[in-house]
Amino acid sequence: MSTIIKKMKAEHIKRPLICAPLVGKTFEAIKEELFVITKKQPGLIEWRVDFFEEIDKTESVIETGKWIKENARGIPVLFTRRSNREGGQPITLSEEEVTELYVSVLEADIIDAVDVELSCPKEAKETILSLAKDKEIQTVMSFHDFSKTPKKEELLDVLKQAQEEGGDVGKIALMPKSLRDVLLVAEVTEEANRGLTIPIITMSMGPKGALSRLVGGAFGSAVSFAVGQTASAPGQIQIDQLEKVLDVIDASQE
């Protein structure tokens, strides 16, 4: 079991890992951003490579990823290309080329975990999952909906699917239309934790969803995404602010 999964399973996930996104468009921007992030010591760094202007140059991605790993001060790195269909940045690569990029990055041994969207084409998904398993690199099987929060049964099925397809972690990120939707995600998180064997990451996005980033760990969400320097999704909170809230929650559990 990797260090990441061990951390996620610790203490029933009452205090989630804090993950800071790395979204620089250029190598120089990434260097500056990583310097700021590592000083704040999050539990995980997510490199959102779909923000990277040279994503179509595999050698540049590999070299940059290697530099990130070497300068992350021991913080695990999650590699993510978020697709357009799930709220990511527009890129010039085809799905086949994205798969080729993932394969190259996995073979280069420069990351600790990789994000794989459940909506990813079946053959591509199987290729990435198989190689990640061979390389002992953890997989986060993710689902994002930037327009709404689906029904409870659908969300539970999504997390179950993530486990059944071989993901090491299941993730859902949803847009609430009301606070009731935020409560629904908390309910799904608690119930899924009782029925699944893999850690899960859940969140509501946007201003209303910020509450889920603060208290999601109490319901069983293994990770909360927070701003190291720049946000990668709506509703993310500054790391220092999130740390303060988590300290208060921890103290209340004693």
Annotated binding site: 46-48, 82, 213, 232, 236
Packed helices 95-107 and 58-70: angle between N→C axes, nearest 10 degrees: 40
Would you list which residues are annotated within the binding site for 3-dehydroquinate? Answer: 46-48, 82, 213, 232, 236
Amino acid at 254: E
Decide if 21 contacts 232 (C-beta within 8 A).
yes
Which is the catalytic residue, given 144, 151, 152, 177?
144
Q: Which residue in 168, 173, 206 sits closest to 188, CA to CA?
A: 173
Tokens of 245: 């809230």
Q: Is 12 a catalytic residue?
A: no
Tokens of 212: 């889920």
Contacts of 94 (CB under 8 A, 6+ apart): none
Which is the catalytic residue, given 7, 69, 125, 171?
171
Residues classed as catalytic: 144, 171
